Amino acid sequence: MTTTHLPRTGRGPIVEVSDLRKAYGGRTVVDGLSFTVEEGEIFGILGLNGAGKTTSVECIEGLRVPDSGTIRVAGFDPIADRAEVTQVLGAQLQESALQAKLTVREALQLYSAFYPRPLDWRPLAERLGLTAKLNTRFGMLSGGQKQRLFIALALLGSPRVVILDELTTGLDPRARRDTWSLIEDVRDSGVTVILVTHFMEEAQRLCDRIAVINKGRVGALDTPEGLIGRSAGSTVISFTPSQPINEEILAALPGQATFDSKDGRVTLSGTDETVNAVISLLAQSHIWAYQLRVTDATLDDAFIDLTKA
Ligand SMILES: Nc1ncnc2c1ncn2[C@@H]1O[C@H](COP(=O)(O)OP(=O)(O)OP(=O)(O)O)[C@@H](O)[C@H]1O
């Protein structure tokens, strides 16, 4: 199944990466990467450890110099047009970038001074739930509060795009969900978000489109639903038949991606067509299906499938 993505906003591309290549000490880690991020979307970047995600986003941020390829951020080159890119792009800081003794207020004031037309940090702090923490030193903040501060600092320059790299790593489930709402708020305020994450639930819930990076290349690019649909099958059907079913008949059912029969339990992944075919087969053969389960495949299933060696 192929899903055609329509940009949420129709405002056109804001980040364009074309045939990006980067090697470290002769070892290629980004190998001809190309993708386009539409303005107004949350664009996810997924991939196994070492796939080249951080290297790629650091090239977009102008923190690393590509060996070849082109990158445009709102039409600007991150290296040649550094000043212009700094005005349109907000990047999440790494924890080491802030001194532990700096208070939240001081950090917001300091980073405001970096931009010619910064947002007023007070309402921003309010929106991010940081007002009560303004006098707290960075080193005393919880993981979730630090992430809120990083989002605030990334938004201070009123960017058109923010890059968030593993923003929710280390957060408890509640703080992670709060952060997701914040990211949606950011997107709803018109800012494009590029999100690098290892959390499939996060990507499935937040991202409009996702690039799965495999060994420095785009292995797949689609909406979360599109990725799920095009990999292992969008629906998983499992049941224990009251009598054995000929495996050749099961394997020939329409729309299915995978088939497994173990210890008397049958598991198929496929489409709605597969579900209907299973039901018809069972009815025609007068077979009972015990513990029949029909579940949606998840992005997790799709990711494992798409990053198989
Ligand atoms: N400065 C560097 N010098 C040498 N090798 C590097 C450097 N930075 C990254 N690498 C290597 O390049 C490869 C890609 O790293 P990168 O951080 O881009 O991957 P990633 O997809 O972000 O991984 P992760 O999910 O683990 O964060 C890795 O093998 C890493 O060890």
Closest CA to 207 of 197, 217, 219: 197
DSSP bridge partners of 147: none
> What amino acid occupies position 43?
F
CA 188, CA 171: separation in Å to the nearest integer?
23
State the distance from the centre of ligand 1 to the C-alpha of 59, rounded, in angstroms: 12
Q: What is the DSSP string of 33-92?
A: EEEEEETT-EEEEEE-TTSSHHHHHHHHTTSS--SEEEEEETTB-TTTTHHHHHHHEEEP
Quick one: which atom of ligand 1 is closest to the CA of 196? 22
Question: Do 20 and 33 touch, CB atoms closer than 8 A?
Answer: yes
CA 147, CA 164: separation in Å to the nearest integer?
10
Question: Do 307 and 219 touch, CB atoms closer than 8 A?
Answer: yes
CA 50, CA 71: separation in Å to the nearest integer?
21
Question: Do 172 and 147 touch, CB atoms closer than 8 A?
Answer: no
| Stretch (H or E) spanning 23 | strand 13-24
Sign of CA dihedral 190, 222, 14, 44: positive
Residue whose Cα lies nearest atom 27 of ligand 1: it is 49
Mutate to test the pocket of ligand 1, among 17, 22, 24 (most ligand atoms within 8 A of CB): 24
Q: Which whole-number Å values give the CA distances from 274 to 231, 239, 294, in the listed order?
A: 15, 13, 11
Under 8 Å CB-to-CB from 32, ≥6 apart: which residues? 19, 20, 21, 69, 216, 217
pLDDT attached to residue 10: 57
Tell the residue number behind the tokens 């090697």, with chain if given: 23
DSSP bridge partners of 290: 240
pLDDT attached to residue 114: 86
Q: Domain boundaries in the chain?
A: 13-222, 230-308
> Which fold does the domain 13-222 belong to in CATH?
Rossmann fold (3.40.50)
Mutate to test the pocket of ligand 1, among 17, 21, 22, 29 (most ligand atoms within 8 A of CB): 29
Q: Which whole-number Å values give the CA distances from 105 to 90, 152, 155, 166, 179, in the listed order?
A: 19, 11, 15, 24, 20
Residue whose Cα lies nearest atom 10 of ligand 1: it is 24
Q: Which whole-number Å values give the CA distances from 176 to 107, 152, 216, in the listed order?
A: 23, 16, 28
pLDDT attached to residue 5: 40
pLDDT attached to residue 4: 39
> What amino acid occupies position 232?
A
CA 264, CA 261: separation in Å to the nearest integer?
7
CA 163, CA 140: separation in Å to the nearest integer?
25
**pLDDT, one tens digit for every residue, the chain (309 residues):** 333 344 445 578 999 999 999 999 999 999 999 999 999 999 999 999 999 999 999 999 999 999 999 999 999 999 999 999 998 999 887 766 789 999 999 999 999 998 888 889 998 898 888 999 999 999 999 888 898 899 899 989 889 999 998 888 777 888 888 888 888 988 998 999 999 999 999 999 999 999 999 999 999 999 998 898 776 667 889 999 999 998 888 888 888 767 888 888 999 888 888 999 999 999 999 999 999 999 888 888 888 888 876
CA 144, CA 115: separation in Å to the nearest integer?
25
State the distance from the centre of ligand 1 to the C-alpha of 64, rounded, in angstroms: 12
Quick one: which atom of ligand 1 is closest to the CA of 48? 25
Q: What is the DSSP string of 123-135?
A: HHHHHTT-GGGTT
Question: Do 268 and 278 touch, CB atoms closer than 8 A?
Answer: yes
ipTM: 0.97
Is the CATH number 1.20.1280 carried by domain 230-308?
Answer: no
State the distance from the centre of ligand 1 to the C-alpha of 29, rounded, in angstroms: 7
Neighbours of 268 (CB within 10 A): 24
